[in-house]
Structure 1
Amino acid sequence: MRPLFTLPTSALTLVALGIFNHALADENTLNLPSTSITSTADSDEAPQGYQAKPNATTTRLNLTAGQTPQGITSIKREQLDDFKLNSIRDVLESTPGVNVQKVETDRTYFTARGFDITNFQYDGMGMGLTGGVLVGDIDTAPYEQVDILHGANGLMTGTGNPSATVNFIRKRPTYEPEAKVSVSAGSWDKRRVDLDVSGPLTDSGNVRGRVIYANEVGNSYLDRYSREKNIFSGMLAFDLTDDDTLTVGYEDQKSDANGASWGALPLTDSNGNALHYSSTRSNIAQPWVYWDVRTTRAFAEWQHSFANDWKSTLTLTAMEHREDTDMFYIYGDKASATGYTGLASNYKGKTRELDGDLSFSGPFSLGGREHQLTFGANVARSRTHETSLYGTSSYYTPVSLEDALNGSIPKPTYSNTALADATSNYTDRQKSLYAGARFSLTDDLHLITGARMLSADSDGDNYGSRRDVRVHGKITPYAGVVYDLTPKYSLYASYTKIFNPQYYLNTQGQVLEPLEGKSYEAGIKGHLLDKRLDVSAAVFHTKQDNVATYVGFDSALGGYLYDGMSYKSSGLELEASGELAPGLQISGGYTYVYITDADNNRGRKFIPRNALTSSMTYRLPMAPKVKVGGSLKWQSKIENDDAPAANQAAYALVGLMTSYDIDPHWSTQLNLDNLTNEKYLQSVRYGQSNYGAPRNVTASVSWKF
């Protein structure tokens, strides 16, 4: 596949040579500005340790966590490195209130507050995930921080969603030279190397560059499964004037998997009885199965600072996502002579997306007080082309579950004619205008309010069914209030309407009506221990209509079919992050969520009602070069909504880490995951699941300057 554009090798060499030349030069020859560009929003004092300030692109109003009338979690690079959170799946598993459902080896759903997370952004830009599912992986090597804004986000994104918005904050070129190389090895022959080089390319530092590369390869605890990831990111920043900075960047993430599962282990037979597997290695994927995914992103960002502390940002991004797979799927079937039907399929897909955003933000005076305002416009377009054989009846055949587990099912010969006929082509477009403000009504009372006006349309064909969506001038309002009780504590409440165009097909082969609803949240936030520890407690209530709920498959109507259901979600979130005591960093929280359907019965039972997530590290005072830590993830029982026999009892996962700083440049680290060797299912959402990874270890060595 051709990338969107290629960064020449000479440019990479220039970046590296420029940084190392400056590192070796006498410090008196460097004419560096006194400030530095970081990936976090400007602040008087950058938080230390696990405590973080959300990036300005996450809330648009450059608010701190305490100023935001919603729950918000920020996971910084230090925590990513401490616990080897190299995948977004690892990051969100460590995020309070988020549930990760690995329905297959290379396809994942994420939920928060009972609903799917579909908004994944990069420095505040990007359309929602297609179908709400992540295909392949997102490696965290190019990112400095990940922000998770809990609840509906109709003001900051193109569509309202009551779950969460995940915002990846890119690493940026630095004014001072720095570099880091890390090499790690672990269980199942897993090996990884990370390289990150950044710094000025001119004596004045008005041109800066950064190059990031990572490669990860290894086998798996699952039979026949292996994967290689290659990640590259290159970025250049130009200070055009004292007030103008242009940043351009390119990112390429490639994941090639063999033995990948499409679907997973059936958890019930054709009669609904539970199936049990003796080994966590069990995998229904065949030796000929593969799943190759490549995602490239390019962006250009121009920031201009005005004399009155206002700032404008113009951002253009382009994305291309490609998939190439041979798949195998198995399910219980009473009509089959063996009790199971297998489906082999070939799939190829390509999506190209363009986004543009222009925003203005800054202070203004009204009533003798200073307030904050942001407004802007956003346009986005994506085009998708797919070919697939999953709807071709001739590839549905009786198979033995034992043969599938042994990897002895032969690969079929595909028909080129069938591949040509099974196609999907469609285009999605979105346009929006938005505005938001933070009014300081008194010294202690602040009102955050705003709205977004959205227009969305789609056209094209989805495997024989029309994909028509027309929404124009839909306004999503948002309002929140924060009251400072004391210098340490504040109360808050917020409200937003929910609106989200959908592209799922119903049982008549038509696109579902837009998802609509309302979301409420209230809570208290604290800034404790000399402002080194952030704590929060929140209650929330959400009502949604037209929630896409899977009901079956019909190749004649375009494949997977959904009904629009109504759900209510209520719950509690507790969270803490920062320094609890000198040298003791913590990040974690507890979530309770209860979901009911239109008949007031419990719904979406594949989401745990109770969950606890925590991470902690401690730098030993008697040996300050040594850091020790641990993580705990616990969740209550889950079960499939339609097949109660497909369930997973409550379980806990324990991890440990220790690191040693050999000198200012060299360090070594050891991570141990699933200490108790817990056997557990990764998801019961669709009545199929692989088992989670058993006990495993990773050792690493790093060098930096």
Structure 2
Amino acid sequence: MLILKKSLWFISFSLLSITPLFNYSQASENKLEHIIVTGQKEEHTSNRIYNIESEKISNIAGGTNLITVNHESRLLTLNDALKNQPGIVIQSLFGGLDQPRLSIRGSGVQSAPLSRGVLLLQDGLPLNEADGSFHSSMIDVRDVQFISIRRGANSTQLQSNNLGGELDFITYTGRDNQNQLRYEQGSFGRQGLQMALGGYSDDHPIDARISLSYDHYDGYREHSASQRKTMRSTLGYISGNFENRTWINWTDLRFDVPGPATSQMLANDPKSVLPAIQKKDPHRNVEQIRIMNKSTWDLGAHDIQLGWWYSQTHDNFKTPSHYQFVNYYTKGAQFNYKLETQHISYRAALAWDHSIMKDDIEKNPKGWLGRYDGRAENIYASLGAGIHISNSVLFNLDIKGTYAKRDVFSDHNSLAQSFNFLTPKVGLIWYPNYKTRLFANVSMSQEPASFNDIINPKAPLNKVNLLKLSPQKATSFEIGSDIELTDNISLSTALYRSFIKDEYITSHDQNGNIVDIYNYPAKTRHQGVEFTINAIQPLRVGDFLYRATWTYNDFRFMGGEYNRKYIAGVPRNLISGEINYQLNGLRFGPTVYWSPTNVAVDHGNHLNLEKSKPYALLGFNAHYQYDNIWLTYLNLDNITNKRYAASMLANPSVNKNNALFFPGNGFSVNVGVVYKF
């Protein structure tokens, strides 16, 4: 690993040296007309990328989000970029740089720590391992221009076989945000540093960018410190209708695990932890290096993309019950072809990915439980067509075939599983006028279990079980609209219903350890509403900007032991909003984040014993940008210092004062400054 780190930093500083070479090549030729003005070029390039991505998602017959990341001032965690988006449920666990719970339409919300249920992408290439698992904290949102989200099973990527959909993080290149210094500081010892350098030349087809960052957080709760170091680099070659780009990413994340709290702890001392946490010191260290490459040919009516990736992930996780030392080695490749004709858009794709997983498990205190070797492999193929029935109606028809393999072997036991399935989807888009977009779709999904689900250390029995789990299957129906009511008011709505068979259900012990995962024997149903409104009110001096979102989740068991009960641990209503006054480069105003409904923490819905109570968080944001060079911001969060559960565990049953809640942060202040040059 030491050799790997040395090689990585050599690559980093080599890329750093490319930037002044670009500038030198321009100066030596004394051609001032070729010098690029960063602010102007960044705006032009960003607008072009935004328009391309807008056109892509406009042809998807389902709920979508397209987020311009730098509109959010504070960018330390994924939560900062996604918390005010409709249809996205992102919940803090420990309040720092750890992995938040990310879920769309209830997909994967039962996994703890959450590590499946959505597909994460960077510039169109998967970040998930081949078994479907992911580490959401491996993403540094400061290097992201836009986040393109396709909610639900009507997603576009071959590897997306889940109910939730996909998030594509579109990063900066050397042709975008070239040089930047960023410093952020806040309550509870929060600090963030970033340096990004990039460049290109009109006389050379190469561009490059590298970003280095360091983050530290002492933590709101006891035993909740975290630290992250990252390196993000890209090297691109663009000539005519061909583009090739290589990315090298490295992340080293360390965080303490304060564990869940009881309702009494939440009310009286939310910073405290259970005695077992103090005694056994649970923590996690995840280190990952990822190399990706993508080639794109734009041949008029033909569009061809070829990509490959390789990653190594080392995950050392100590819980109160056991140690897990996990190594993932993942590789994959994908091919996409698209042909545009006057009336029909044809598309075809092939992909393959493969992961080798080695998992050493020990008891805590130490005692050997065994080594488990896993092999995950997938082969995907899809065909689709977008048929323009008229100038205002688009009909999408796609079918995907998947072969999935999940094998686990050890000295004590073994499990070999393979699955073959088809997942068709049909969508319709209608533009009754240029300000209104209506859509509907029917789609199917099948999600095989990840190794985190299959390999289950049962805490009370001090042994490891290999669980034979059927893929989670769903059929989803969705309708929605995107409407511009006026030039200054727009709204988006999506309504969906998914019928799920073999949903994965997880249960925990009183210390938060997973003790069982199983396929629910009856069907479950996920349905909900995703709504957002954006408005601008011009004034004589400046403007008022309004934004509000509502995500409604109605997830229930439709038979079996918990018939008609709510699936525990999922907030039923999430409402967020903000009002900003904007004048030139100044923007400021109040914010609110509201969960107005009691949330059951057990599938039996015994709200009289334990529940997560409603809460509202008030905040204030101020942002000032000067001449696209300097940017400063101020964020006040949880101004009333509300004590609340940011997320919770879900159990089949519950007793009074079980440890199931993860307290959210108290009142905090965060400030930052960005210098672009």
Find the aligned partners of 1:682 and 1:12 in 2 and give their Cα distance: 40
Instruction: Assess if the C-alpha contact under 8 Å between 2:120 and 2:166 holds in 1.
Output: yes
Residue 68 of structure 1 aligns to a residue whose secondary structure is: coil
Letter paired with 2:442: Y
Residues 499 and 286 (structure 1), Cα distance of their counterparts in 2 relative to 1, 3 Å cut: same
Post-superposition offset of 1:529: 4.1
Post-superposition offset of 1:427: 0.8
Instruction: Assess if the C-alpha contact under 8 Å between 1:153 and 1:165 holds in 2.
Output: no
Number of equivalent positions: 626
Tell me if 1:293 matches 2:292: no
Residues 600-615 of structure 1: pairs in structure 2 closer than 5 A: 600-615=563-578
Post-superposition offset of 1:206: 0.8
Post-superposition offset of 1:3: 4.2
TM-score, normalized by length of structure 2?
A: 0.84
What is the aligned counterpart of 1:305 among 285, 298, 301? 298
Instruction: Assess if the C-alpha contact under 8 Å between 1:213 and 1:232 holds in 2.
Output: yes
Residue 188 of structure 1 aligns to a residue whose secondary structure is: coil
Post-superposition offset of 1:619: 1.7
Residues 234-633 of structure 1: pairs in structure 2 closer than 5 A: 234-239=233-238, 241-257=239-255, 259-261=256-258, 263-267=259-263, 277-284=267-274, 285-286=277-278, 288-306=281-299, 308-328=300-320, 343=321, 345-365=322-342, 370-389=343-362, 392=363, 395=364, 412=365, 414-415=366-367, 418=368, 421-461=369-409, 464-472=412-420, 474-503=421-450, 504-505=453-454, 509-530=466-487, 534-551=490-507, 560-565=516-521, 566-577=523-534, 581=538, 583-599=543-559, 600-620=563-583, 624-633=584-593
Letter paired with 1:183: Y
Residue 286 of structure 2 aligns to a residue whose secondary structure is: strand
Instruction: Assess if the C-alpha contact under 8 Å between 1:439 and 1:447 holds in 2.
Output: yes
Residues 680 and 538 (structure 1), Cα distance of their counterparts in 2 relative to 1, 3 Å cut: same
Which residue of 1 is the match for residue 205 of structure 2? 206
Instruction: Assess if the C-alpha contact under 8 Å between 2:284 and 2:317 holds in 1.
Output: yes
Residues 665 and 123 (structure 1), Cα distance of their counterparts in 2 relative to 1, 3 Å cut: closer
Instruction: Assess if the C-alpha contact under 8 Å between 1:88 and 1:137 holds in 2.
Output: no
Letter paired with 2:505: T
What is the aligned counterpart of 1:12 among 7, 11, 15? 15
Instruction: Assess if the C-alpha contact under 8 Å between 1:54 and 1:74 holds in 2.
Output: no
Which residue of 2 is the match for residue 658 of structure 1? 622
Post-superposition offset of 1:520: 0.4
Find the aligned partners of 1:53 and 1:464 in 2 and give their Cα distance: 55
Which residue of 2 is the match for residue 674 of structure 1? 638
Moved more, 571-580 or 24-33: 24-33
Tell me if 1:141 matches 2:142: yes
Find the aligned partners of 1:463 and 1:99 in 2 and give their Cα distance: 40
Residues 499-537 of structure 1 show CA distances to partners (whole Å, capped at 9, x for unaligned) of 22224449995421111121000122214544x764212
Post-superposition offset of 1:377: 0.6
Which residue of 2 is the match for residue 401 of structure 1? none
Residues 10 and 552 (structure 1), Cα distance of their counterparts in 2 relative to 1, 3 Å cut: closer
What is the aligned counterpart of 1:649 among 588, 613, 628? 613
Letter paired with 1:255: L
Which residue of 2 is the match for residue 340 of structure 1? none
Residues 154 and 12 (structure 1), Cα distance of their counterparts in 2 relative to 1, 3 Å cut: closer
Find the aligned partners of 1:568 and 1:659 in 2 and give their Cα distance: 42
Residues 119 and 37 (structure 1), Cα distance of their counterparts in 2 relative to 1, 3 Å cut: farther
Residues 591-617 of structure 1 show CA distances to partners (whole Å, capped at 9, x for unaligned) of 222122123413213212221123454
Find the aligned partners of 2:349 and 2:598 in 1 and give their Cα distance: 44
Post-superposition offset of 1:73: 1.1
Residues 349-399 of structure 1 show CA distances to partners (whole Å, capped at 9, x for unaligned) of 11121121111123113xxxx33222111111111111122xx4xx5xxxx
Residues 94-133 of structure 1: pairs in structure 2 closer than 5 A: 94-103=84-93, 106-116=98-108, 117-126=117-126, 128=128
Residues 94 and 463 (structure 1), Cα distance of their counterparts in 2 relative to 1, 3 Å cut: farther
Residue 141 of structure 2 aligns to a residue whose secondary structure is: coil
Q: Percent identity?
A: 16
Find the aligned partners of 2:287 and 2:174 in 1 and give their Cα distance: 25
Instruction: Assess if the C-alpha contact under 8 Å between 2:254 and 2:284 holds in 1.
Output: yes
Instruction: Assess if the C-alpha contact under 8 Å between 1:218 and 1:228 holds in 2.
Output: yes
Structure 1: which 5+ residue stretches go unaligned?
Answer: 57-61, 268-273, 329-342, 396-411
Find the aligned partners of 2:385 and 2:431 in 1 and give their Cα distance: 18
Residues 13-162 of structure 1: pairs in structure 2 closer than 5 A: 13-18=16-21, 21=24, 28-30=32-34, 46=48, 55=53, 63-65=56-58, 67-80=59-72, 82=73, 84-103=74-93, 106-116=98-108, 117-126=117-126, 128=128, 134=135, 136=137, 138-153=139-154, 155-162=156-163
Post-superposition offset of 1:209: 0.5
Residues 468 and 618 (structure 1), Cα distance of their counterparts in 2 relative to 1, 3 Å cut: farther
Instruction: Assess if the C-alpha contact under 8 Å between 1:639 and 1:685 holds in 2.
Output: no
Residue 385 of structure 1 aligns to a residue whose secondary structure is: strand
TM-score, normalized by length of structure 1?
A: 0.81
Letter paired with 1:70: G
Residues 593 and 692 (structure 1), Cα distance of their counterparts in 2 relative to 1, 3 Å cut: same
Residues 192-234 of structure 1 show CA distances to partners (whole Å, capped at 9, x for unaligned) of 112222221x451411111111111131111133221111111
Instruction: Assess if the C-alpha contact under 8 Å between 2:69 and 2:81 holds in 1.
Output: no
Post-superposition offset of 1:327: 3.3
What is the aligned counterpart of 2:660 among 688, 693, 698? 688
Letter paired with 2:178: E
Moved more, 425-434 or 674-683: 674-683
Instruction: Assess if the C-alpha contact under 8 Å between 1:572 and 1:591 holds in 2.
Output: yes
Tell me if 1:638 matches 2:628: no
Find the aligned partners of 1:619 and 1:655 in 2 and give their Cα distance: 17
Find the aligned partners of 1:700 and 1:276 in 2 and give their Cα distance: 30
Which residue of 1 is the match for residue 214 of structure 2? 215
Residue 178 of structure 1 aligns to a residue whose secondary structure is: coil
Letter paired with 2:440: A
Instruction: Assess if the C-alpha contact under 8 Å between 1:496 and 1:520 holds in 2.
Output: yes
Find the aligned partners of 2:336 and 2:206 in 1 and give their Cα distance: 24
Structure 2: which 5+ residue stretches go unaligned?
Answer: 109-116, 459-464, 651-658
Find the aligned partners of 2:189 and 2:78 in 1 and give their Cα distance: 22
Letter paired with 1:537: T
Instruction: Assess if the C-alpha contact under 8 Å between 2:155 and 2:166 holds in 1.
Output: no
Instruction: Assess if the C-alpha contact under 8 Å between 1:162 and 1:498 holds in 2.
Output: yes
Letter paired with 1:349: V
Which residue of 1 is the match for residue 184 of structure 2? 184
Letter paired with 1:30: H
Residues 10 and 680 (structure 1), Cα distance of their counterparts in 2 relative to 1, 3 Å cut: closer
Post-superposition offset of 1:584: 4.5
